[in-house]
Structure 1
Amino acid sequence: MFAVGIDGCSNGWLASFSKPFDFKKCYCLYSKNLEELILKLPKKTFIIADIPIGLDEKKHIRECDVKARAFIGPRRHSIFAPPCKKASLESNYESANILNKKITSHGLSKQTWMINDKIKETQKLIEKGYSLKEGHPECSFRELKGDFLRFGKSGLLGFFERLELLTNLGFTPTSLSNQLSEEIKAKPDDLLDSLVLCWSASRHIQKKGIYLGLKNSSKTFNESESFIHV
């Protein structure tokens, strides 16, 4: 089985995958379409994607997001509340914002709305039978470091803080970037995010991962609930 980490980028999706913990032999793929990307992967996979999976009917913020914010402490603002289910189905930001406020008493940030098409794209694949798990790179980096991260990922110091953690695992981000199509429009941290999610997927394959949002300690849970896989 292959461990796969998927992160969205401005014109599609980026996947990093390897055998569990065999990160020196990691590969990267890009596609504009999520389903096409998944079909390019090996057949047996455990996929963790940086996208909200399982929207709430009425709540402003899901339990897993509350737990994830507490988990990453100073970086908590990187986890934003996704739209409720009905608001996600709206065709434009203005109407979605109004409906979300009506149902949850909170509006939507424009940052959230910018990934709504990817949320819907992912949900359609899950309804078709694809298996994708939700993750969050900042939660994975925090677990990997064993402490809170000092710097935000968009700055130079934050980039190198995360890069060092990944290279210590055996990843080679510079050589991996050479595998990607020139048409990709992605930020450097998009690649790093997909790599750390590949690490989390490796943990879950070997039953070493954790679930943020789990309501009990038994690790028996309802698949319809939402969890951040770390």
Structure 2
Amino acid sequence: MWVAGVDGCRAGWIAVLMRVDDPDASRIMTVARFEAVADAPEQPAVIAVDMPIGLPERTEGSGRRPEQLIRPLLGERQSSVFAIPSRRAVGAIDYADACVIAAATSDPPRKVSRQGFGIFPKIREIDALLRARPDLVPRVYEVHPELAFWALNGREALDQPKKVKGTPYGPGMALRRELLGRSGDLPDGLIQAPPPRGAAADDLLDALAGLTVALDLARGGGQSFPDPPGRDAHGLPVAIWTLRR
């Protein structure tokens, strides 16, 4: 059985694929469309992706329920958990329009962050794919890298940021690589591998974090926030998953 950890990147998506029973059987790939990961020759049975899945019609408070649940666990890293607005707002192509719609479909009214708006095209891509291909829904799980690292760190928030002012921060990157190595799930060559063209080092690191969750899910583990997952108006799951440790 193969699994995959996936993150967005400049090229589109970066994925790390691994066979559950053979860590040396692995590869790193970049693709323009997320569907190419699901349809890769390895046919990964579990795909853990750092991208919101399941969109609300309205939001209450600071985003979806999964986001509200995991922020308190992450300490100073909780700012990395964006508040995802309503489906209508995510569908807006223009930033100003997205803010107007988000404010009108949230209580209290909330606009959209620039960083959050930047990932809307990828959210729309996954949303459209899962709605068009319901056979993929049982295989695709939403994850968040910092929640994965929280689990790998003994369920403690990390004290080092991954980036500072948009630039990868050496000590924080090294800490996360150390946690990945300590997990015992990934070969060191994969953890230390350079990112492929079209992806940054932190994109690869986040995909590797997702891979640890995918491996745990494939082995019968995994923990969802909330538990059990919710469902959006189209039946898509609404939950962020991490390792059960």
Matched residue, 1:46: 46
Is contact 2:11–2:30 with CA below 8 Å preserved after alignment?
A: no
Question: Does 1:10 pair with 2:10?
Answer: yes
Q: Scaled by the length of structure 1, what TM-score is found?
A: 0.89
Runs (5+) with no aligned partner, structure 1:
none
Alpha-carbon distance between aligned partners in 1 of 2:230 and 2:103, rounded to the nearest angstrom: 30
In structure 2, do the counterparts of structure 1 residues 21 and 63 end up closer, same or farther at CA, with 3 Å as the change threshold?
Answer: farther
Alpha-carbon distance between aligned partners in 1 of 2:48 and 2:14, rounded to the nearest angstrom: 12
Matched residue, 1:122: 126
Alpha-carbon distance between aligned partners in 2 of 1:153 and 1:23, rounded to the nearest angstrom: 25
Is contact 2:4–2:44 with CA below 8 Å preserved after alignment?
A: no
Matched residue, 2:174: 160
Matched residue, 1:29: 29
Is contact 1:28–1:177 with CA below 8 Å preserved after alignment?
A: no
Runs (5+) with no aligned partner, structure 2:
164-168
What's the CA shift string for 1:172-210, capped at 9, x where partnerless?
Answer: 2366437x3x3x1x2211101101111101111112111
Q: Scaled by the length of structure 2, what TM-score is found?
A: 0.84
Matched residue, 2:194: 177
Q: How many residues align?
A: 222
What's the CA shift string for 1:92-142, capped at 9, x where partnerless?
Answer: 111011110111110000100000000000111101222321000100011
Q: CA offset at residue 91 of structure 1? A: 1.9
Structure number with the higher helix fraction is 1
Matched residue, 1:227: 239
Question: Does 1:213 pair with 2:230?
Answer: no
Quote the RMSD (CA, aligned, Å).
2.0
Alpha-carbon distance between aligned partners in 1 of 2:47 and 2:5, rounded to the nearest angstrom: 6
| Sequence identity (%) | 27
What's the CA shift string for 1:29-87, capped at 9, x where partnerless?
Answer: 11112112332251242011000001111115111101111222221111010121111
Partner letter of residue 177 of structure 1? P
